[in-house]
A = this chain, B = another copy of it.
């Protein structure tokens, strides 16, 4: 356990035992540093953690106080509103231009959709790639035709089995990232013009798949802690033909929730009852903050209607773009579409990852990353509360590495995005997560990077910009 975690636990325990009363001011950072014989930075870290746990709060120019009524990070309790009609999709230009401007700036990467690449065990994976050259002087591409490299498929199936997800290795098809897996899965189950139900807000890669295939999206209200609203989805299905449903039950991007098992079961039962296939995007499955890997929709699937998609890009390496699909009864179609779409997935990355999984410390790496993200989630959440104006609300991520922030309603997040970019700070504007303007005062913040003085200054500046935009009159774009 780190020193600041130990300190935070001690103070929390003291509050619980009544050593500090609710509303009481506690030691300043400088005082606490001297009292406990630790650095200023350690105290700041500990206090930030305690803020995010709802134990402490800051008051401007006054210092840290024990919270009157501890609360759990102010999750937004109501689901998003229903958007009743399906709509055509064209968000990709906004997303691509946003991602590109994020890349073009040497900026504080709050807007990045990618995990801190500094956490990837890149040198070790590369050692395996390098060793392949010695083993295979003449590489046989045909060995890795769809469904993909057999050893990699075995390793992926083994990890699912160890986590209680029922998997037949023969069901797995290796793809170019989860992006291709999602695209092929959607193409296997629906055709141009069809309507597809998605969460609201939804991860834009889902909207891209719908856009690419000329389908229509219907956005279903989604609870920030429990996922897609099953009652609302039931009503939608009763009213109109829904060809497929696309969801992210674990650590949804951007909301960060983990759908409870019971809800997962209900969702699969509802859709199965109508023979509607469901595409499950589970790319964050390894980045849980709880004690164990969460269940998947696959666990509740009895009819082969769940097309499960995932990848190594969030948890191991983004540079190789290795993903996979487990398409249930649509396996043959997905394999064929894979072959038509990109022929094969590059073989060296497949074998290098298979070797890493078999021989190296993937679980050790994951334990470290999960601990970091869990801590950084609390810090980011506490810091937003500290620096952003009243009326700001944040999600409570159960995994992954993004925070969803609702700004005061006057603040247009595209204007914030542009203003922040000029200060060398990026954010993910809420516009990317809907085909409607439903989230124009929301932003997504990435907290996978280590918390530094620079990020703190950047977040403070961002809070000031939010305050300024909230007071501006008129022209919201």
Contact = CB atoms under 8 A, between A and B. Distances in A.
A395 interface: no
A436 interface: no
A321 B117 CA distance: 23
A477 interface: no
B342 A179 contact: yes
Interface in A187-206: 192, 205
Nearest to A129: B129
Given A99-B142, A133-B122, A343 B117 contact: no
Contacts of A114: 141-142
Interface in A209-233: 209, 211-212
Taking the full assembly, how many copies of this chain does it contain?
2
A318 B141 contact: yes
Given A137-B118, A142-B112, A341 B341 contact: yes
Given A122-B133, A138-B118, A348-B320, A343 B145 contact: no
A17 B477 CA distance: 85
A321 B337 contact: no
A238 interface: no
Contacts of A99: 142, 145
Interface in A56-102: 92-93, 95-96, 99-100, 102
Contact of A123 (B133, B340, B345): B133
A133 B126 contact: yes
A428 interface: no
A399 interface: no
B142 A343 contact: no
Nearest to A211: B340
B347 A319 contact: yes
A427 to B, nearest CB: 15
B117 A138 contact: yes
Interface of A: 92-93, 95-96, 99-100, 102-103, 112, 114, 116-118, 120, 122-123, 126, 129-130, 132-133, 136-143, 145-146, 176-177, 179-180, 183, 192, 205, 208-209, 211-212, 318-321, 336-337, 339-349
Given A96-B336, A123-B133, 16 more contacts: A92-B339, A99-B145, A100-B145, A103-B140, A103-B143, A117-B139, A120-B138, A123-B137, A129-B130, A139-B318, A176-B346, A179-B342, A180-B342, A192-B192, A208-B339, A321-B342
29 contacts: A93-B336, A96-B339, A112-B142, A120-B139, A122-B137, A123-B133, A126-B133, A129-B129, A139-B318, A139-B319, A141-B318, A176-B176, A176-B346, A177-B344, A179-B343, A180-B342, A183-B340, A183-B341, A183-B342, A192-B192, A208-B339, A319-B347, A320-B348, A321-B344, A321-B345, A321-B346, A341-B341, A346-B346, A346-B349
